[in-house]
Amino acid sequence: MRSLVIAVAQPRIEPLDVAANAARHAAAVRAAHAQVVVFPEMSLTGYELDAPTVALDDPRLAPLVEACAATDTVALVGAPVEGPYIAMLAVDGNGARVAYRKQYPHSSEERFLAGPAPEVLEVDGWRLGLAICRDTGVAEHVAQTAALGIDAYVAGVLDAPEGDAVVAERARRVAAEHGVWVAVSSFAGPTGGGYPESAGRSGIWTPEGRVAARAGRTPGELARATMVAESLARL
């Protein structure tokens, strides 16, 4: 059997303070002891819809790049990027790159363009299908991503405190319908953008839809699990 250790983190975020947030991301990566660590939507800036875009070579990301290099981790972090798009960045010891652009922005996110297509990130032979928040509730997005041949569906999200049940229901549905692991990182605590509090409860679900690990509502928590598969998806 093949395995991959994955963690979902929900650090406390300082609105628009990329340097402080990158440092907290770095601390979470070092604490996670995981090959992949997933962070919420727009985690580097907070959910600030007027936040300046983050450049891939932004020097403020250096502590996170260094943490990924030291631990051999891929961090999947949220940020607005040139376009502008709401994006998921893959950060490792070599730097940052755009792994995915949100395909289904919310109506309140009218500043941002819709991403062009589903994306898969391969880590240690595992094919991770990527999603950001509203994408997870769009059946077409889930189906098109799964059709790429994935082992896990990985998302960064933001929801109000009462929305944690929605996150869990969507995760169970994706797992059950497509037979894949699901990992969702959800903001905890205040995020900016009209969210004085957010849901937390980041989690990891098995292909049978069972909870493998789940955080509470407190900022700074993380959940960690070892995903296992008898065989890995291939196109």
Radius of gyration of the chain (CA): 16
Task: Give the count of domains, the chain.
Answer: 1
- The CATH number of whichever domain residue 132 belongs to comes to 3.60.110.10
Angle between helices 18-32 and 62-71 (to 10 degrees): 10
Is 152 a member of any domain? yes
Task: Quote the CA–CA distance of 111 and 72 in Å, as a whole number.
Answer: 35
Q: Note the pLDDT tens digit of each residue in 59-109.
A: 999 999 999 999 999 999 999 999 999 999 999 999 999 999 999 999 999
What's the pTM value of the predicted model, to 2 decimals? 0.97
Is 160 a member of any domain? yes
The β-bridge relationship of strands 181-186 and 203-205 is antiparallel
Is 159 a member of any domain? yes
Question: Any bridge partners for residue 157, and if so which?
Answer: 186
Is 234 a member of any domain? no
* Confidence category of residue 22, pLDDT binned at 50, 70, 90: very high
